[in-house]
Amino acid sequence: MDTFSFLIDGFALAIQPANLIYAAIGVLIGTAVGVLPGIGPALTVALLLPVTFKLDPGGSIIMFAGIYYGGMYGGSTTAILLNTPGESASVVTALEGNKMARAGRGGPALATAAIGSFVAALIATAGLAVLAPYLVKIAVKFGPWDYFGLMLIAFVTVSATFGSSPLRGLTSLAFGLWLGLMGIDQLTGQARLTFGVPELLDGVEVTTLAVGLFAIGEAFFVASRHLYKPEKPIPVKGSIWMTREDWKRSWKPWLRGTIIGFPIGALPAGGAEIPTFLSYTIERKLSKNPEEFGHGAIEGVAGPEAANNASAAGTLVPLLTLGLPTSATAAVMLAGFQQYNIQPGPLLFTQHADLVWGLVASLFIANVMLLVLNLPLVGMWVKLLKIPLPWLYAGILVFASMGTIAANPSVTELLLLTGFGVVGFVMRRYDYPIAPAVVGLILGPLADSALRRSLQMSLGDPMILLQHPSSAIMIGIAVVALVAPFVFRGLSKFRQDED
């Protein structure tokens, strides 16, 4: 049987009324739990996994796909409306999305996120079906040196999120790098900056930092200004739907985000965050109105959201073909498969082809269901902002701390969360950008171990980074991206002087 007829069979299974209902329930509860600040898709899926065990394998996988997409969409909803990303991959979404919401354009922001996620997931799932076996061959060839090159590119692009002052942006990034040092070093087992506290040996959770800086810091900041500059309930101006102009500005970022997200997601250590940074930077560079960035540019929501969802489909490539979970969510999905005695791996495509295509079809269906259910709900989500401020922020704090407790019930973790909240407040007050700190915490340890693994394999010879053409090219791109703006600025200044 060929791919196509398997896919038809998969759809025949997925489209049965009972399964459609499972998909709808999955999407609904996934969104409902994922929308809580501090609870990202991984935790959502982990929490709801037991619910699916009660169904037959087919129904369960479909519901599972629904929960997964629902959880991801729920995470971006809070990032946009409340500036409290529930996971690291929606940090970038909060940058422009929340500005849009504050300008009364929360509806279009949510809509472009939902439709962008839909488009990206649709294309990426198709890519998964067709390209997975080939893509994975390239992905495993990616050595530590190549990862280091990719990290360098990602680091350079972070500067797009720096805001008005490079000094303050770099300081924020350095703070993230510093936090990234904390804990046991994976390569040697050496503890760094743990000060004898055993709870710090595992390092700082990215979620704790993101929720602390964004949600708790925001609450501190808004409260501190409340007396003098009371925040008015945000008005919903104009239509909650996307205008023709919005569509025109969104479709290209959706496609570009997908193209960036899917292959990086397919890398065994690619993750969902790097594509969102890259997409944001590219949209900013390509935009006809770059001055809108930082004040609510729709491209800055459309691109990263598409990249995020495409990379999520990308992580299924190593999961299904190698049995290799490359994200927390994928690890939970693996546990879900194993519950049914299905071991993802090189034999899955040959031994359980029906199941793979059933899953692909379920992803399609869940994706459609997400759009069908959530677009009408945009209006309801936007109304969240009408809750009186005291209760809104009180609720955010309760759910944010609950998310932290749920992931790790320790007082140390809560103290860290509060500490990051205070830092987030100080950073907001003195105009330090927040996102680079989160980026530093994610990229720092990855770059550190990629570089040191390379040097360990080459017995300390740094030339290994340039001997492999792929890593040499990526390092070259990073250097050009770093130097070029200065050169161009110098040139234009020079010309101005001549005038």
Partner 1 sequence: MRNYFKLGLLAAVVGGTLGFGTLQASSQDLELTIMAPAGAGGGWDSASRSMQEAMMASGNAKSVQVINVPGAGGTVGLAQFIGSAKGNPSQLLVAGITLVGASISNQSPVDLTQVTPIARLTGDPLVIVVPKDSPIKSMDDLLATIKKDVATTIWVGGSAGGADHILAALVTKAAGADPSKINYVAYSGGGESLAAMLGGQATAGVSGYGEWEGQIKSGDLRALAISYPEPIEGIEAKPLKGQGLDIELVNWRGIFAGPGVEGADLDALKSAVEKTVKSAEWQAILKTRGWTDYYAPSNEFKAFIGSETERVKTILTSIGLAN
Partner 2 sequence: MTQKTLHIPNRPTAVIAVVLFAIAFITYWDASHMKVRATYGMSASAASYFVALLFVALAIGHLISAFKPSDIEVEAADWMAVGWIGFALAGLIGSIWLGGGFILGSTLLFALTARAFGRKALLVDLCLGAVIGVLVFLLFNKLLTLALPQGPLERLF
394 touches partner 2 by CB under 8 A: yes
Q: Which member of 55, 184, 223, 368 binds partner 1 (CB under 8 A)?
A: 184
187 touches partner 1 by CB under 8 A: yes
Closest separation in Å from C-beta 439 to partner 1:
20
- Bridge partners of residue 183, in order along the sequence: 192
57 touches partner 1 by CB under 8 A: no
Extract the tokens encoding 357: 């295509």
142 touches partner 1 by CB under 8 A: yes
Q: Which of residues 190-219 bind partner 1 (CB under 8 A)?
A: 191, 198-199, 201-202
**Residue whose CB is less far from partner 2, 174 or 377:** 174
* Residue 192 dihedral angles phi and psi, to the nearest 5°: -120, 130
Q: Are 337 and 359 in contact (CB under 8 A)?
A: no
Instruction: Sketch the per residue contact string, 299 through 328, with partner 2: x for CB under 8 A, - otherwise.
Output: ------------------------------
Q: Which member of 103, 236, 405, 481 binds partner 2 (CB under 8 A)?
A: 405
197 touches partner 2 by CB under 8 A: no
Q: Which member of 3, 159, 171, 408 binds partner 1 (CB under 8 A)?
A: 408
181 touches partner 2 by CB under 8 A: yes
Q: Are 327 and 286 in contact (CB under 8 A)?
A: no
Q: Which does 220 bind (CB under 5 to 8 A by kind): partner 1, partner 2, none?
A: partner 2
Distances (CA, A) of 287 to 279, 290, 306, 408: 12, 5, 16, 41
**Exposed / middle / buried, residue 15 (Cβ in 10 Å: 0-12, 13-18, 19+):** middle
Distance CA 248, CA 11 (A): 32
**Residue whose CB is less far from partner 2, 46 or 334:** 46
Q: Which member of 2, 54, 189, 391 binds partner 1 (CB under 8 A)?
A: 189
Q: Are 72 and 34 in contact (CB under 8 A)?
A: yes
Q: Which member of 156, 284, 444, 450 binds partner 2 (CB under 8 A)?
A: 444
Closest separation in Å from C-beta 352 to partner 1:
12
Q: Which of residues 62-81 bind partner 2 (CB under 8 A)?
A: none
**Residue whose CB is less far from partner 1, 202 or 231:** 202
Q: Which does 325 bind (CB under 5 to 8 A by kind): partner 2, partner 1, none?
A: partner 1
Distance CA 496, CA 499 (A): 5
463 touches partner 2 by CB under 8 A: no
Q: Which member of 102, 131, 185, 234 binds partner 1 (CB under 8 A)?
A: 185
Q: Which member of 23, 24, 48, 333 binds partner 2 (CB under 8 A)?
A: 48
37 touches partner 2 by CB under 8 A: no
Q: Which member of 62, 72, 324, 355 binds partner 1 (CB under 8 A)?
A: 324
55 touches partner 2 by CB under 8 A: no
Angle (CA) 474 475 476, round 5°: 90
- Residues in CB range of 292: below 8 A, 6 or more apart: none
Is the Cα dihedral 417, 173, 300, 226 positive or negative?
Answer: positive
46 touches partner 1 by CB under 8 A: yes
Closest separation in Å from C-beta 330 to partner 1:
9
Closest separation in Å from C-beta 145 to partner 2:
12
Q: Which member of 353, 406, 481, 482 binds partner 2 (CB under 8 A)?
A: 406
C-alpha closest to that of 451 among 142, 141, 148, 149: 148
450 touches partner 2 by CB under 8 A: no
**Residue whose CB is less far from partner 2, 50 or 485:** 50
450 touches partner 1 by CB under 8 A: no
178 touches partner 2 by CB under 8 A: yes
Q: Give contact residues for partner 2 (rule: CB under 8 A).
A: 47-48, 50-51, 164-165, 167, 170-171, 174, 177-178, 181, 185, 187-190, 192-193, 216, 219-220, 222-229, 389-391, 393-395, 397-399, 401-402, 405-406, 409, 411, 414-415, 418, 421-422, 425, 429-431, 444, 448, 451-460
Q: Give contact residues for partner 1 (rule: CB under 8 A).
A: 46, 139-144, 184-189, 191, 198-199, 201-202, 268-269, 318, 322-326, 331-332, 335, 338, 341, 343-348, 407-410, 453, 456-457, 459
